[in-house]
Amino acid sequence: MEGVLYLLLFLAGAGIFSFLNVVIYRLPRGISFLQGRSHCPSCGAMLHWYDMVPVLNWFYLRGKCRNCGAKISFRYPAVEFLGGALALLCLHHFGADYQAILAFAFLGVLTAVAFIDADTMEIPNGLVIAVAVIALLDCIGDSPVSIRERLIGLVCASVPMLLLTLAIPGAFGGGDIKLMGAAGLYLGWKLCLIATFLAVVAGGLYGIGLLAMRRKGKKEHFAFGPFLCAGMAAAIFWGEPLLHWYLGLYGF
């Protein structure tokens, strides 16, 4: 019975992230993601419910549109599988609690931010506002993150990023700065700093790799939002153990 419940939770998470695929595709194009049926972007054929079974349907159709045979990106089932996996991980980490629901919502918004930023080099303000709303909802319950920690989190990463951008134009995008401000309200300053550190390390290594392969010039930019989102996701689940391990190196 427990296995069935886990399967249902996985399918629910995958189904929610299936909707996120719609958001990721439509939001940058200015198309409403709340109205209008899903359709094939190649031929425009409307999709039926049996064309939208999370994860499995992509493999059943062999990654092609049922109507025109156009290829469907592997991103779609990958995002859906990620949603199912994150739903299970949130339950395991937070238990059957409202914090698990808010964490899953937060991770869902981060997923949309990461893919949209990777595609367009922009982070929609609406998604930043969604992160801030999740932070405010987290304040209502019995959260371990205090208001003081949240207020420090609001500025501990965003303000240094802003100052660095003023000193070095283009160091960070405005969306990155606003995202870290809103996320700091949710994470608190400790996890926010850990997330930023992980993002800078991962983004730096990625940038070095691009230069080594000569795919980017020294003055060219790449989307940093996906690294920030990945850093925040890692901080939610493993930030505290990582912080304790680091402080333990210095005897704290």
Query: What is the value of pTM for the model shown?
Result: 0.91
Radius of gyration of the chain (CA): 19
Cβ neighbours around 34 below 10 Å, total = 8
Both 86 and 103 in one domain: the answer is no
Task: Round to whole Å and give the CA distance between 203 and 209.
Answer: 10
Q: Which residues of the chain have pLDDT under 50?
A: none
pLDDT tens-digit map of 178-220: 999 999 999 999 999 999 999 999 998 998 888 887 766 555 6
Q: Clarify whether residues 85 and 102 are in a common domain.
A: no
Do 53 and 12 lie in one domain? The reply is yes
Name the amino acid, one letter, at 117.
Answer: D
Spatial CB neighbours of 31, under 8 Å, sequence gap ≥ 6: 25
Contacts of 203 (CB under 8 A, 6+ apart): 224, 227
Q: Tell me what pLDDT residue 215 has.
A: 66
The pLDDT value given to residue 34? 76
Side chain identity at residue 9, one-letter code: L
pLDDT at position 2 is 79
Question: 46: which strand partners?
Answer: 39
For residue 30, the model assigns a pLDDT of 87
Angstrom distance (rounded) from CA 160 to CA 166: 10
CA 84 to chain CA centroid, Å, is 14
Assess contact for 90 and 105: CB atoms under 8 A: no
Contacts of 66 (CB under 8 A, 6+ apart): 45, 51
Domain boundary at 90, 109, 125, which?
90
Residues 123 and 247 in one domain: yes
Token representation of residue 199? 């993002």
Residues 79 and 155 in one domain: no
Is the domain of 151 the same as that of 65?
no
The 3-state DSSP class for residue 109 equals helix
Please check whether residues 52 and 141 belong to one and the same domain: no
120 lies in which domain range? Answer: 97-252
End-of-domain residue from the set 72, 90, 108:
90
Query: How far lies 6's CA from each of 13, 78, 91, 236, in Å?
Result: 11, 19, 9, 21
Last-in-domain residue among 61, 90, 119: 90
| 242 and 194 Cβ atoms separated by less than 8 Å | yes
